[in-house]
Structure 1
Amino acid sequence: MKLTITPKALNWFKSEIEVADGQGIRFFGKVYGSTQVHEGFSVGMSVDTPENILAETTEDGLLFFADEADEWFFKGYDLVVDYDEKLDEPKYEFNEA
């Protein structure tokens, strides 16, 4: 799994989310909603301390990651995190790995 954060998404995270030293922004599968490849599940995010990292990227000093516990959700896909200007929130795109 490859994790990509667009510059617009990075700006949103930096202005909206406070992350303490040693923590990062974790993406995970959560019940309810849907994605372009999952029915009944959507992407959740939280500020968390990384432990068993499945995928990670650091952008402008900010860590973004997915945990091995969520491999079932991301298996076979790369995740692109972008910014939705109309909703003023992140949007997620799954691409086949």
Structure 2
Amino acid sequence: MQIHLTGQAAEWFHNEMFLKKGDYVRFYVRYGGSSPIQQGFSLGVNKEEPIDAGVLEEKDGINYFIESRDAWYFDGHDLYVDYNEKLDEPLYEYKKNNG
């Protein structure tokens, strides 16, 4: 499992969450909402430090991560985060990984 983040998405998080170098952004599992890979659950985002990061991706000095305990949600998929210019929000895609 990996996190792939475009430059535009990283810029959006930086501006919207008032991030500075060294900060951490967690992608986590939320009960409710919708997801193409897990019925009844959705992806949440929060600014917090990791306890047990299962995957960590650094982009422009910001650390994006998923806790080990949330790995089940991704069910063998990598997380791709892009930016939707029209909606001015992140766009999340899940793609089956080779591992």
Q: TM-score, normalised by structure 2?
A: 0.88
**Counterparts in 2 of 1:13 and 1:92: CA distance versus 1, 3 Å:** same
Q: Which one is further off, 1-10 or 82-91? A: 82-91
Task: Check conservation: 1:81, 1:90, Cα contact below 8 A.
Answer: yes
Tell me the equivalent position of 2:89: 89
Counting matched residue pairs gives 97
After superposition, the C-alpha distances for 1:51-88 in whole angstroms (9 at most, x for unaligned) are 20111110010100000110111231100011112221
Q: Report which of the two has the higher share of strand.
A: 1
Cα RMSD after superposing both structures: 1.5
Q: Report the residue type matching 1:9 in the other structure.
A: A
Q: Report the residue type matching 2:77 in the other structure.
A: Y
Tell me the equivalent position of 1:29: 29
Q: SS state of the match for residue 8, structure 1? A: helix
In structure 1, list runs of 5 or more residues that go unmatched: none
- Output the CA distance in 1 between the equivalents of 2:23 and 2:75: 24
- Output the CA distance in 2 between the equivalents of 1:84 and 1:41: 22
- Output the CA distance in 1 between the equivalents of 2:91 and 2:21: 25
**Counterparts in 2 of 1:48 and 1:20: CA distance versus 1, 3 Å:** farther
